[in-house]
Amino acid sequence: MKPDLFEAPDYYNLDDLLNDEHKLVRDAARQWVKRDVSPIIEDYAQKAEFPKQIIGGLAEIGAFGPYIPEEYGGAGLDQISYGLIMQEIERGDSGVRSTASVQSSLVMYPIYTYGTEEQRKKYLPKLASGEFMGCFGLTEPNHGSNPGGMETKFEDKGDHFLLNGAKLWISNSPFADIAVVWAKNEEGRIHGLIVERGMEGFTTPETHNKWSLRASATGELVFNDVKVPKENLLPNKSGLGAPLGCLDSARYGISWGAIGAAMDCYDTALRYAKERIQFGKPIAATQLQQKKLAEMITEITKAQLLAFRLGQLKNEGRATTAQISMAKRNNVDMAINIAREARQVLGGMGITGEYSIMRHMMNLESVITYEGTHDIHLLITGMDITGHAAFK
Ligand code: TGC
Ligand code: FAD
């Protein structure tokens, strides 16, 4: 793979809006990605393997629980710093950002927000340091966009719960130490349970042959009469709103992350267009390639403004689910379109692993599907502005 020469586009001087801490955190993540991710990621994506050796580095840059208070091992940062870390990691690879998103927003967030003090103390510091890795089980074979229909269930057996069912498409499942699992009790009410690797009847088969997110491990969670200790129930919120609350936080991070992937594709295409000579001049001097590049930087700039404003609202506790949906949908769509255009700027070279663009493009096919599909986010906006839910 080519050396990582990335230079971040900042067409509207957004750096002026960042404080010193934001810039420090962002620059540390950027340097780490250049040093520890870019040189190895193509190889791991080709092998379809998650590079476990980067777990310590992710912890060091604060990617595990950026906004979780320091007393629980988190970085105690604000939401804009969280977004910037996700942006920088996804600039390297969406699969690596997935690992960080799941650990932070789908495992640490529910334990911090819905868990007991004992659960916080037991799990959060280890998750923040990367000693424990976690995964989040919501999606099932028969229930993806409609998680409320889930069939995974648990029964109260007096001194423990008995868990049965299966989850599909679970990021990090093949190597996770713990899983935050959403299941229905005898009354059909959804609760979160912490399931630990090694519990009898709990298996995590890996999903193979993905063309997308190849450097991220994806698998199933299978529960066959798993005895879960009662103290592993997350007691402070139940109902579908509990997992959906976690998704708000992860989707927010993705709205920043997608900008990173788009910036990398744009930067690569711009550099290539300036260097590639056809018909005696750089292809960057042709109107058609300028149209592609000019539209890319325009869309990236709009997405940056959207994410920054959403970050301000999130810091104030005012960001709504619908606002987050709009940003996730818009920014991922923006990134996938830029990846497709950027790939064309590179001609045949664009399909090789010498450059990151094709990998980003394939990764973004997952990003536009998980954490709520492109369609579902449009319907969330539609519901918000009309008052009518068109899902059912
Ligand atoms: P609905 O009737 O609208 O809502 C049920 C209850 O939940 C409440 N609620 C929320 N609460 C907190 N935060 C939110 N964002 C909430 N959204 C809704 C709602 O008020 C209601 O509460 P109550 O008290 O009235 O019961 O639910 P619905 O069944 O109609 O479904 C709505 C829909 C389709 C929008 C929702 O289910 C949805 O978002 N579906 C998409 C599923 C999804 O995003 N799955 C993601 C799985 S995890 C993943 O993909 C990880 S990828 C790895 C990575 O991140 O990198
Ligand atoms: P479906 O819900 O079956 O949707 C199929 C199509 O129908 C889509 O185009 C959808 O937009 C459309 N559709 C569905 N309902 C409607 C409707 N009402 N109106 C119009 N169109 C509709 N889940 C987890 O719980 N944890 C994870 O860690 C996780 N990681 C993932 C990693 C990867 C690589 C992938 C690909 C997925 C992951 N997921 C995870 C699952 C992901 O969240 C789901 O794939 C996603 O929510 C969509 O569900 P589905 O695949 O079952 O598609």
Stretch(es) of the chain classified as CATH 1.20.140.10: 241-386
What pLDDT score does 281 carry? 98
Catalytic residue positions?
A: 371
48: amino acid identity, one letter: A
**CATH code, 14-129:** 1.10.540.10
Contact, 94 vs 213, CB < 8 A? yes
Q: How far is CA 376 from CA 38, 73, 195, 224, 391, in A?
A: 33, 34, 29, 31, 8
What pLDDT score does 158 carry? 97
Q: Which ligand 1 atom sits nearest the alpha carbon of residue 245? A: 13
Tell me the mean pLDDT in the region 134-163.
98
Stretch(es) of the chain classified as CATH 1.10.540.10: 14-129
What pLDDT score does 61 carry? 98
Residue 1 has pLDDT above 80, yes or no: no
Q: Which residue has the tokens 């199933």?
A: 220
Our answer on whether the CB atom of 211 is closer than 6 Å to any ligand 2 atom is no
- d(CA 147, ligand 1 centre) in Å: 7
**Using one digit for the tens of pLDDT, what is the confidence trace for 326-371?**
999 999 999 999 999 999 999 999 999 999 999 999 999 999 999 9
The CA distance from 340 to 315, in Å, is 33
How does residue 2 score in pLDDT terms, banded at 50, 70 and 90?
confident
Ligand nearest to the CA of 98: 1
Contacting residues for 17 by C-beta, under 8 A, at least 6 apart: 308
282: left (phi over 0), alpha (psi -120 to 50) or beta: beta
Phi, psi of 78 (to 5 degrees): -90, 180
How does residue 113 score in pLDDT terms, banded at 50, 70 and 90?
very high
pTM score, two decimals?
A: 0.98
The CA distance from 137 to 123, in Å, is 17
Our answer on whether the CB atom of 137 is closer than 6 Å to any ligand 2 atom is yes
The CA distance from 206 to 231, in Å, is 28
Maximum separation of any 2 CA atoms in the chain, in Å: 80
Please, what CATH class does the domain formed by 134-234 belong to? mainly beta
Percent of the chain with pLDDT strictly greater than 70? 100
Contact, 163 vs 183, CB < 8 A? yes
**Using one digit for the tens of pLDDT, what is the confidence trace for 62-108?**
999 999 999 999 999 999 999 999 999 999 999 999 999 999 999 99
Contact, 90 vs 105, CB < 8 A? no
Q: Which residues line the pocket of ligand 1, CB cutoff 6 A?
A: 98, 101-102, 136, 138-139, 145, 147-148, 171, 239-241, 244-245, 247-248, 250, 321, 370-372, 376, 380, 389, 391
What pLDDT score does 59 carry? 98
Q: Which residue has the tokens 């529960």?
A: 223
Stretch(es) of the chain classified as CATH 2.40.110.10: 134-234
**Using one digit for the tens of pLDDT, what is the confidence trace for 258-284?**
999 999 999 999 999 999 999 999 999
Nearest CA to ligand 1 atom 35: 380
What pLDDT score does 199 carry? 98
Q: How far is CA 233 from CA 171, 194, 222, 237, in A?
A: 21, 6, 18, 10
Residue 232 has pLDDT above 90, yes or no: yes
How does residue 392 score in pLDDT terms, banded at 50, 70 and 90?
confident
CATH fold group of domain 241-386:
Butyryl-CoA Dehydrogenase, subunit A; domain 3 (1.20.140)
What pLDDT score does 15 carry? 97
Q: How far is CA 350 from CA 39, 263, 291, 339, 358, in A?
A: 18, 16, 18, 10, 6
